[in-house]
Chain A
C-alpha cells in the first residue's frame, strides 16, 4: 500500500470523526414547554406578542430589554434580553432566540429577528444582537 493511501485513510477517518463531532452541535428548535426540562441553552423560534408590554428604558438600563413571544405551540413567555432593543423590533415576523429558562422567564443570550422587507427582491437584512 502506498503511503499516500495510508494518509488518505487516516484523513478520511479524521474527517468522519470531525463531522460526527460537528453534527453534535446541530441544534433543533425547541418549545418553551421543552425548555423547562432542559438544563442548558436551547433555541426557540416564535412570534412577538404585540399586545403584551415591551419594555426598554435605556435611561434606567441600556442593557435590559423585555418582551413576550409565543412559540409554535402557542405558549407565551416573557423574554429578558440583556442588551439593547434592536431597530424595527416591532416589525419582526419571526424571532429566533437562544437562551435558557429562568423561572417563568426566558433569558436570551442571542437573538435573530427576521423583518419583512419592503424591498421585495433585494436582500432581507436581519439584525443580530449578540450579547
Chain B
C-alpha cells in the first residue's frame, strides 16, 4: 500500500549513498583484517608486501566509508531532513547549531560512529608509524571495526536485524498512519524530539569525544599485546605497548574525570562520583590499564611481568567491551541512573565480547609458552616487587567493583537457566563500595610510597639498606605529623579513613623525597612524582569533601524530633525576599529571571559570624531548564561558589507545583474557588471564606477573613504578564487587602484587557495570604458607561478660560504639542494636540485630564480622557485653527457603580523555592589530584615518544 505513494519533499540520495558506504565499510574492514592477518603470518616471505598492500587498501576504503557515513549523517542533521529517523529523534528546529555535535553522539548509532572515528584516526597513525607492527596491530583493530560497523549496518537477515543504520528513513523504521500522507515530511518538524534538554550544555560537546577516544585508545595496547603474542617478539612489543598504554590511561582518565566534573558542576546528582554502574564500568578499564602500565614498566626495566602486562592490556579491552555491553543493552536499567535503553543489539554485543574474549585466550595460550622466563627471582627489596603487588591491588579494585556492578548480569544468567534470583544492588551502594575501596587506596598509597625508596633489580641490598631505612623513617615521621595536622581539619571518624589519609600523605612525602634527594629530577621520575603525588592529594580531597560535606540547608527549626538519625533535613524553603538564617548564613531568595529556556533563581548568601556580623556576601544562580515547548521544567541545574578550600553547591529541589508545569498551573487555577464580590471605590468590604487545608495529610478547614478595598481604577495598568498592544482597552484595579489577624495589609492590582472581542484576564496573587483576585467583564461594565449614554455637553474654550460644571471648576490651561496618553501610540505622520485641563472639586482637590485631538492619514480622531474618581469624562472634539478656539465635550456619569471582582482564598503560594545547599570542603584537592594523575600520564607518554626519536 505504502509503496504506491509518491512521497514529496524527501532527500533519498543521502540514505542511498549511506546504505552503500556502510556496507562497503563493513566489507572493507573484513577484507583489511584478513589481508593484514596473512601479511603477519607471511612476514618474512615475498608475499608480505602484497598482503600488506591489500590490508592498507582495505583500511583506507574502510576509513573513507566510515568518514563518509559520519559526514552524511552530519549533513542530514544540519539540513534537518526529518524523514530520517536519526534526525527526527535527535534534532529539532529550535536546536542551536552548536549542539549539532551533541545531538550526533546522543544516540547509540552516533556514539558507535564516534568510536570508529577514533579507531580509524589511531589506526592511520599505526599504519604510518608502527613499521613491523602495522600488520598484526591493524589486523586486530580492523577485526574490532568489523564488529562495530555491524552495529550500524541496519540489515535484515530473515527476522533478525543486524545493527541500526543512522541513515535509515523514518518510514522504514516505524509504521504510522502519517506515512499515508504523501507530504508527511513537511509535517514532521513539529514533532521532532530534538536533543534532550539535560544534554544541552558544553559538557555534552566535550565529554563524549574524549571518553570515546579513551575507549578507542584501549584497543591499541590490546592490539599490540595480541601482536606481541602473535609475532612472539615479546621484548620489542614492550616499548609501543607502554607508549600507547600511557596514552590510553591519560585519555580515558581525562574522559572519566570530565564526566565526574560534569556530574558535579552541571547535573543535580550532588557530587562527582556516585558509584553508578555506568561510572564504574568506565573506571574498571582505567584501573586495569594503570595496572598494565606498571607491569609494563617492570617488564622494560627487568624482564619480569611480561605475561602480566599482556594480560592486563587484554583485560582492559575486554572490560571496555563489557562496559559497552552493559550500558547499551538496557540490562542496567534497574540499577543505574543513566544507561542507554535497549535497541535490540544485545546479541551482537554479546558476540562482540565473546569473540575477543576467546580469541585473546587462544593467543595467550599459544604465545605465553614463548615468553622468556627471568633467570632469577626478584627480591622483596626491589622496586619491581612492590610495583607488581601494587598492580595486583589495582586488579583487586577492578574485580571488586565489577563484582557488584554485575549484579543485574547474575540475574540475567540465572534467568537463562530458569532461576529467578531477584538480586539487586546493595542497600547502601556508596557505603558498600567505599568500604572496600578505602583499602585499595590504603595499599596503593603504601606500595607507591615504598617502591619509590627501592631500586629496580636490587643486587646490592646491603649497600642500599641504610639509605632506605633513613629515608623511609624520615618520611614516616613527617607523614605522621602532617596526618595529625590534616586530621584537625578533616573529621575522619573511623581508623580506616585515618589510615587512608596517612598513606595518601605518605605517598606524597616519599615522592617528594624521591625527586629532591634520592633520584635526580629526571623526566621519568617527574612523571611518576606528579602522578603519585596527585593520587595522594586526591585521597585528601576525597576524604575532606566526602566526610566533611555539610548541608547549609538544614532547617534548624525542623518540627519532627522523631527523625531517625540517617534522615537529614537536606532541603529548606525560601520565600521570595524573606531572609532565612541557617547554619551561619543568611540566605535570601531574591527573585527569578528567564534567559532563553532557562529560569535563573537569584539566591543571596551572607555569612554571619558568631557575633552576628555579616562579613561576606555572594549570589548564586541555581536554575531550572525548561523543555523545548517551554511548558514544563525538564531539570534543575546547580550553581556553585568556588573557594580555594571549599565549594558551596546549591540547587533547587522544588518549586511551587504551578511554577513547574503549565498543565499543573491550569489544574490549580481550575481548582480555585472564586467568589464574586462588588464594592464602591474606597469603601472596604469584608470577605469571608472557608478553606480546606491539609496539615500533614489531615483535612482541616480554616476560615479566612479579609478587608478588601478598591483604591483606584487604573487606565494604564502594569502587570508582569501583560504586554500592551495598540488598541487595547486595559483596566487595572488598585486594591488593598488587609488581614485583620495580624493587621498586615498588601497591595495588588489585577488587570483585565479587552483586545478586539477577546478578554484577557491577569489575576493578582497575594502570596502571603495565598489569595488570588481576578476581574471579569462585569468589572468593565461597571467602569465603562457607553459613550452615548453619558450625555455630553459641549463647551467652547480658549487657553486660559475656565468654566463651571456640576460644581467643579475646570481650567483650560494650554495646548500640549507632544501629548501622552495611555491609549495613544504615536506614529510619524500624526498631527496631535492635547488640551491640558485642571479640575478643582468642592474641597479644593486638584485633578488633571488631557483629552487629545488627532489627525492621522487626514482623518480626525478623538482620544478621550477621564477622571475616574470624579466620574468626569472629557472629549476634545474640534479645534478652529484660525481662532484657536476648541470644543470640549464634558460629561459625568450619574454615580460610580459598584465594581465587581472575584476572589479565591484557597490559592497556593508560588513565591518560593526549595533549596539544597551543601558545603564541599577540600574539593579542589580532588580536582588538583586527579588532574595531576592525568598530567603524570601525559608527561610519561611524552617521554616515551621522545625515546623513539632518540
In the bound assembly, the distance between CA atoms of A110 and B426 in angstroms comes to: 12
Chain B 503-538, CB within 8 Å of chain A: the 1/0 string? 000000000000000000000000000000000000
A28 touches B424 (CB 8 A): yes
Asked whether, in the complex, the Cβ of B653 is within 8 Å of the Cβ of A84, the reply is yes
Nearest opposing residue in chain B for A7, CB measure: B389
Q: Is the CB of B654 within 8 A of A62?
A: yes
CB closest residue in chain B, given A14: B396
A75 within 8 A of B: no
Contact A18–B426 (Cβ < 8 Å): no
B338/A123 in contact, CB under 8 A: yes
What separation, in Å, do the CA atoms of A57 and B421 have in the docked complex?
Answer: 39
User: Would you give the shortest CB distance from A115 to chain B, in whole angstroms?
Assistant: 11
Q: A58-91: which residues lie under 8 A (CB-CB) from chain B?
A: 58-64, 66, 82-85, 87
Residue pair B635, A11 in contact (C-beta under 8 Å): no
* Chain A contacts for B403, CB-based, 8 A: 19, 22-23
- Flag whether B155 is at the interface (Cβ < 8 A): no
Among the 9-residue stretches B313-321, B562-570, B727-735, the one with 4 or more Cβ atoms under 8 Å from chain A is B562-570
| Beta-carbon contact of B570 and A127 below 8 Å | no
CB <8 Å contact, A57 and B694:
yes
B198 touches A125 (CB 8 A): yes
B494 within 8 A of A: no
Restricting to B239-279, which residues have a CB under 8 Å from any CB of A? 268-270, 274
A124 to B330, CA, bound (A): 10
List residues of chain B with CB within 8 A of the CB of A48. none
Q: Which residues of A contact B338 (CB under 8 A)?
A: 123-126
A128 and B274 in contact (CB under 8 A), knowing A22-B404, A87-B636, A96-B424? yes
Whether, in the assembled complex, B591 has its beta carbon less than 8 Å from a beta carbon of chain A, the answer is no
B contact residues, range: 35 or more
Instruction: Judge whether A26 and B404 touch: CB under 8 Å.
Output: yes
Q: Is B334 engaged at the interface, CB distance under 8 Å to the other chain?
A: yes
Contacts of B198 in A (CB 8 A): 125
CB-CB nearest in chain A for B654: A84
Find out whether the CB atom of A27 lies under 8 angstroms from the CB atom of B424. Answer: yes
Minimum CB–CB distance from B195 to chain A (whole Å) comes to 8
Are A43's CB and B399's CB within 8 A? no
**A25-49 contact mask (Cβ, 8 Å, vs B): 1 or 0:** 1111100000000000111010000
Contact among A25, A26, A29, A120 with B341 in the assembled complex (CB-CB below 8 Å): A120
Contacts of A130 in B (CB 8 A): 270
Across the interface, name the chain A residue whose C-beta is closest to B341. A124
Chain A residue numbers with a CB within 8 Å of B914 are 58, 62, 84
Residue of B108, B274, B559 touching A121 (CB-CB under 8 A): B108
Are A26 and B426 within 8 A (Cβ)? yes
Asked if A25 meets B343 with Cβ closer than 8 Å, knowing A15-B396, A123-B338, A131-B567, the reply is no
Q: Which of A62, A107, A117, A124 has the most CB of B within 10 A?
A: A62
The interface bits of chain B over 378-400 (1 if a CB of A lies within 8 angstroms of the residue's CB, else 0) are 10100001001100100010011
Q: Are B341 and A11 in contact (CB under 8 A)?
A: no
Q: Is the CB of A43 within 8 A of B377?
A: no
Report the Cα distance A127→B333, complex, angstroms. Answer: 13
Interface string of B912-925 (1 = CB under 8 A from A): 10101000000000
Q: Would A87 and B660 count as touching, CB distance under 8 A? A: yes
A126 to B100 alpha-carbon distance, docked (Å): 24
Residues of A within 8 A of B424 (CB): 26-29, 43, 45, 96
B106 is an interface residue with CB less than 8 A from chain A? yes
Q: Are B404 and A25 in contact (CB under 8 A)?
A: yes
- Whether A117 lies near B559 (C-beta < 8 A) is no
* In the assembled complex, B572 has its CB within 8 A of some CB on chain A: yes
Distance in angstroms between the alpha carbons of A62 and B396 in the assembled complex: 43
Cα–Cα distance between A62 and B559 once the two chains are bound (Å) = 11
Separation of A112 and B332 alpha carbons in the complex (Å): 13
In the assembled complex, B573 has its CB within 8 A of some CB on chain A? yes
In the assembled complex, the Cα of A45 lies from the Cα of B654 at a distance in Å of 24
Instruction: Supply 23 A–B pairs (Cβ within 8 Å), ascending by A.
Output: A3-B380, A4-B378, A4-B385, A4-B388, A19-B400, A25-B404, A25-B426, A26-B407, A26-B424, A43-B424, A55-B696, A59-B912, A63-B569, A84-B914, A87-B636, A94-B334, A112-B337, A119-B89, A119-B193, A121-B343, A122-B107, A126-B338, A128-B274
What 8 additional pairs, Cβ within 8 angstroms, besides A4-B385, A84-B570? A25-B432, A28-B421, A45-B334, A94-B334, A122-B89, A122-B340, A125-B337, A131-B567
Pairs A-B, 3 closest by C-beta atoms: A84-B653, A25-B426, A62-B571
